[in-house]
Amino acid sequence: MFYDEEEYILSLAYVPEQIPKLMSFLSGGKPALLNKKYLYLRGKDWIIFIGYPLDKNFDIMDLERSIKEVLEKFKPETLWLITNETLISLKQNFIKIEDDYYYQLDLKNLDINKRLIKVVEKVSDKLKVLVEKNYTKQHKELIAQFLKNRELSENVRKLYLSLPEYVKKSETTYFLSSYTKDGKLTAYYIIEMQAKEFSAYLLGCRSEINYVSYSSDLLMYELIKISQKEGKDYINLGIGVNEGIRRFKEKWGGIPFLRYQTYKYSKKFNFLDYFLINP
């Protein structure tokens, strides 16, 4: 991918999956642009197709034509699709894996609950927040603790384990970490700032050993301030995942703004897979 193509994509991107370097690192695939509209990543025998048009002209017929074009050109064994659209003509060839919504926090019309502001002010007396690049021993221990105590999908686990390495390599990705006065890590976010219009919350976790109430709220407040300073229009808060995470995002003013569906296509279509995913 050429530099001007990457800059073009970043100027129009509205979901984290449209950040080429991030997706290339996570997938190991080579990023490419189809018809100046769709980003996709290609490996040896697979493709990840980001089915969100950069021009925001959502057209299911155009999307399906574009997917067919890629399938016919590269003939991958497997294709993963991320989109807001519900497939029509390709429905028989794809298995739906996930169905959720992206959440967005509008920074131009921000109205934070006064009670939340008081909570943040109170906890800020106990904690300090750092924007940092260092993947410390405390971060590693917190990730291990977090993953041990939660049932997460294999993909989410891989994300928690691989993203810290990306923070080291990327000039626009950071840890947003909260520490006690004696230097104990209580929580952290990983945030991405490369897209022109938005900042992205990629993931986060809090400590159960060094637990301090409202650490995550303090980090969200700091992310808002950083994003405003950087001139972002909004924060992409990621998908809902579960009821607890959805409530947290909504508490801060996040609203569902775009459907998130993932599909899988395979040449070797396995009907057992279909019935396992679609009971």
Q: Domain of 272?
A: 3-99+259-277
- Check residue 195 and give its pLDDT: 98
Residue 116 sits in the same domain as residue 89: no
Mean pLDDT estimate for the chain = 92
pLDDT tens digits along 248-264: 999 999 999 999 999 99
Whether residue 122 sits in one domain with residue 57: no
Q: Is residue 242 part of a domain?
A: no
The pLDDT confidence band at residue 100, using thresholds 50, 70 and 90, is: very high
pTM: 0.91
Domains in the chain, number: 2
Give residue 268's pLDDT: 67
Are 123 and 208 members of one domain? yes
User: Residue range 125-145: average pLDDT?
Assistant: 95
**pLDDT at residue 106 is higher than 80:** yes
pLDDT score at 269: 52
If you average pLDDT over residues 104-113, what whole number do you get?
94
Residue 92 belongs to a domain with what CATH number? Answer: 3.40.630
Residue 191 lies in a domain: yes
Q: State the pLDDT at residue 273.
A: 44
Report the pLDDT averaged over residues 236-244.
Answer: 91
In a domain, 238, yes or no: no
Regarding whether 114 and 91 lie in a shared domain, the answer is no
| pLDDT of 275 strictly over 70 | no
pLDDT in tens, 198-232: 999 999 999 999 999 999 999 999 999 999 999 99
CATH code of the domain covering residue 142:
3.40.630.30
Tell whether 89 and 36 lie within a shared domain.
Answer: yes
C-alpha closest to that of 206 among 195, 196, 217, 197:
217
- In this structure, the answer to whether residues 73 and 156 fall within a common structural domain is no
239 domain residue, yes or no: no
Task: With a cut of 50, say whether residue 235 has pLDDT above it.
Answer: yes
In a domain, 240, yes or no: no
pLDDT value of residue 274: 37
Residues 69-88: tens digit of each pLDDT: 999 999 999 999 999 999 99
Residues 267 and 209 in one domain: no
* Domain identity same for 151 and 133: yes
Q: What is the mean pLDDT of residues 84-94?
A: 90
pLDDT digits (tens, 9 = 90+) for 5-21: 999 999 999 999 999 99
pLDDT-based confidence at residue 278 (cuts at 50, 70, 90): very low
